[in-house]
A = this chain, B = another copy of it.
Amino acid sequence: MTAVSKRKKNKATGKPQAFRRHRATTTVYPLHAMASLPRTYRLIVSCPDRLGIVAAVSSFLAQHGGWIIEASQHADALAGWFFMRYEILAGSLTCEVAQLQQEFEPIARDFQMVWKLTDSAQPQRVVLLASRETHCLADLLHRWRSDELFCVIPCVISNHQGLRDFVEWHGIPFHWAPVKSADRTAAFGRIHQLLHEYQADTVVLARYMQILPPSLCDAYAGRIINIHHSFLPSFVGAKPYHQAYDRGVKLIGATCHYVTATLDAGPIIEQDVIRVSHRHSLEEIVRLGKDVEKTVLARGLRYHLEDRVLIHGNKTVILE
């Protein structure tokens, strides 16, 4: 096990106390990221569109006392598919959540739903992979330690040693997993095992400059999030800023997407751009792009952690 800072840590999220300024001195588990937000259950559903879905679900919830504090639906007319996300006040339910789930089964079956019910108080375990660039990692760690991003970060894995100090200062284990071209299989076998050991729910490639093997992409399908430093589908692959500079575009961008076996072609979660001009050198374009990358990645990851992203085919529905 890697050496880890010895400062006192919070049990739920493994976060050092130093930064936990919003917390009361005695916190009870489960701890919620935003002190002001109540605990909720999130019901996420997708199914073929047909009459009566909302009526069936909302009536079911009302019968169990479920107070809906946020509801979003989307009907994709072309695809004939329906998506919904209900955020239900945990304290309002008149039965245990296990019973709720059990009683929901017949409805789900009837409408051929793919569904899940998640607990806002159960933080996902998010393993971060990084290479040399620090901006995305530093940004995510700051959001995490200032309670802006609600998740557990069980460890950080990198193919370089440079980030160790900074990561460990946060009380997070750091794993050095070098990837040599001669031995990529072993290297990614080791990484896969680490993800397994740390029980990763989600993997974030925070400017991790290695292409994952298809087996890893498949094992964590819909759960590996990458930030690509271009406005996809422009400038796929290596050195997108160089490509953008050479083409003379007037805006550069970044794309947060799910990783699939096809490079930079997975479902897009979030994108944004920033204006550049002939005055900007390649170095300045790289610098300006970093601000977009970190914001877009943080936004995309937040959607994912709040169960707002539904994948359908190669596209996403973001239920804000």
Contacts and interface: CB of A to CB of B under 8 A. Distances in A.
Interface in A48-96: 51-52, 54-55, 58-59, 61-62, 65-78, 92
Interface stretch (A162-170, A198-206, A220-228): A162-170
A306 B277 CA distance: 18
A218 interface: no
A251 interface: yes
Contacts of A298: 291
B71 A314 contact: no
Main secondary structure of the interface of A (DSSP, over half): mixed
Given A62-B51, A75-B68, A231 B251 contact: yes
A318 B249 CA distance: 12
Interface of A: 18-19, 21, 34, 36-37, 51-52, 54-55, 58-59, 61-62, 65-78, 92, 132, 134-135, 138-139, 142, 146, 148, 162, 165-166, 169, 231-235, 247-251, 253, 267-273, 277-279, 281, 283, 287, 290-291, 295, 298, 314-318, 320
A292 to B, nearest CB: 10
Contact of A74 (B54, B76, B278): B278
A55 B65 contact: no
B314 A248 contact: yes
B315 A248 contact: yes
A198 B159 CA distance: 39
A313 to B, nearest CB: 8
A258 B207 CA distance: 35
10 contacts: A18-B162, A18-B166, A51-B65, A58-B59, A69-B75, A69-B77, A135-B142, A233-B249, A278-B317, A279-B320
Nearest to A291: B295
A58 B67 contact: no
Nearest to A290: B148
Contact of A277 (B77, B287, B318): B318
B146 A134 contact: yes
A293 to B, nearest CB: 13
A250 to B, nearest CB: 4
B249 A74 contact: no
Contacts of A74: 278-279
Contacts of A139: 142
A320 B231 CA distance: 25
B248 A283 contact: no
A52 B60 CA distance: 10
B278 A76 contact: yes
B234 A281 contact: no
Contact of A271 (B250, B279, B315): B250
Given A18-B162, A18-B166, A247-B268, 16 more contacts: A19-B162, A34-B283, A37-B283, A51-B67, A54-B54, A54-B71, A55-B61, A58-B59, A74-B278, A76-B278, A134-B142, A233-B249, A247-B315, A250-B271, A251-B271, A291-B298
A271 to B, nearest CB: 4
